[in-house]
Amino acid sequence: MMILVARVSRLFSLPLCLAAALSLVGCFAGKLVGGDLPAIAYIVSDKNGSHVWIQMPEGSEASRISSLSVDAKTPRWSPDQSKIAWISVGNKTELILYDVDSEGVTSLVSNIDAEQPPIWAPDSDRIAYVSDDDGEPDIYMVTLEDNQKTRLTFSPERELVGDWSPDGEWLVFTERGNEGLFLRNPDGVNRIELTAGPDSDPVWSPKGDRIAFLRSADGARDVYVLRPTNSDNWADDTDEVAVADDEHDEFSASWSEDGRRLAFVVRFDDQSEIFSVLVDGSERQQLTQNMEDDLMPVWSAGEDRIAFVSYAYGNAEILYMNADGTGQMRLTVNDGMDTHPDW
């Protein structure tokens, strides 16, 4: 954790911005120093558009790291915390990469699906995304070392890439028009059908032994967990457990670092609140409680904290809290709409 803090502090104490990067990112608006928590990247949407900002918790200033000239969406830290990727939406839609150590800004690929976030490989060497470069909206991956682009799926249906397995062997995804979850090994040719239900939004557990996903039924979604029945082989039989199953709509599942709990959102009639539950469906806890929407929970890497979006202050702001809902702290204070936190 201290390595991450050192890297981020060094990043925002740099006095200059490279001229070659000015068309993509802005100069940093201050020096970020912080305590023991990693930096949170997020989107601020205001009259100037939507842009990527980054901020250390515990009272530090925020800095914008994407250009004012184009909108940005869904920033994602790399697993090794050395890079940030996001989607740039201007005259063309691009996958943008920022390297913390070198200050380098790279447009990796263009003509990508702006509605899907970049999905990092666990070794931080590849990114999966969706593009219709070849006529159909299929899943691709790009390698950071040589910018090599590889098409992974060949279907007339629109794919939605979900997550990369922690061992790098599998990508889990869905297809519009075909129910179920599917696996594709990026370095091979295998395709496995995991489920046959109206399922979406798959997210791999940090240990790689389970996949959380949403299943639609009777106009609402429930949180399920899937795992192989008798082995570690996902091609074998699997078991499904409904860990959050009631009459309300549930979504935005996020794994704790140890893989024991899931945070998720429950939409009630008048507001949405954040809950957590063990992977067997027990020990369900309500973490937020107010009359406004609390959304987009995301667990920190290496720390038992959850960042989230709340409308309790009128507009959308980023907050963070302990895993049990205590210690809630406000990260952002501005007139914009702050969304899509990641750390």
Q: What is the pLDDT of residues 126-143, one digit of tens each?
A: 999 999 888 888 999 999
Q: Which residues of 148-161 are buried (b: 16+ CB within 10 A; e: fewer)?
A: eeeebbebeeebbb
Burial group, residue 230, by CB count within 10 angstroms (0-12, 13-18, 19+): exposed
> What is the rounded CA–CA span in Å between residue 253 and residue 214?
8
How confident is the model at residue 156, as a pLDDT?
A: 85
Helix (H) or strand (E) holding 5: helix 2-12
Looking from the CA of 245 toward its CB, the CA atoms found within 13 Å total 14
CA distance 328 to 179: 39
> Which range among 38-47, 283-292, 298-307, 324-333 shows the weakest confidence by mean pLDDT?
298-307
Residue count of the chain, please give it: 343
What percent of the chain clears pLDDT 70, i.e. is strictly above it?
Answer: 89
Q: What is the mean pLDDT of the chain?
A: 87
Strands 71-77 and 315-322: unpaired
| pLDDT per position as a tens digit, 163-198 | 999 999 999 999 988 899 999 999 888 999 999 999
Q: Is the pLDDT of residue 13 over 80?
A: no
Torsional class of 115: left (φ above 0), alpha (ψ -120 to 50), beta (otherwise) = alpha
CATH class of 70-193: mainly beta
Confidence of residue 244 (pLDDT cuts 50, 70, 90): confident
Average pLDDT rounded to a whole number, residues 72-93: 95
Dig out the tokens for 98 from the structure. Answer: 């920022």
Identify the pLDDT of residue 59: 67
Q: How far apart are CA 191 and CA 174, in angstroms?
A: 12
pLDDT at 134: 81
Distance CA 308, CA 342 (A): 9
Residue 160: pLDDT over 90: yes
Q: What is the pLDDT of residue 303?
A: 74
Both tokens assigned to 254: 């996020």
* 74-to-89, 102, 191 alpha-carbon distances in Å: 11, 22, 27
**pLDDT tens readout for residues 145-155:** 999 999 999 88
Average pLDDT over residues 271-298: 96
Residue 82 has pLDDT above 70, yes or no: yes
**Looking at residue 152, what is its pLDDT?**
94
pLDDT band at residue 60 under the 50/70/90 scheme: confident
The full set of domain ranges for the chain reads: 70-193
pLDDT by residue (tens digit) across 321-334?
A: 999 999 999 999 99
DSSP-based helix, strand, coil % in the chain, nearest 5: 5, 50, 50
Secondary structure element (H or E) that encloses residue 10, with its range: helix 2-12
Tokens of 119: 């999905």
For the entire predicted model, the pTM comes to 0.88
DSSP string for residues in 71-94: EEEEEEE-TTSSEEEEEEESSSEE
Q: Is the pLDDT of residue 202 over 80?
A: yes
Q: Is the separation of the CB atoms in 200 and 174 below 8 Å? A: yes
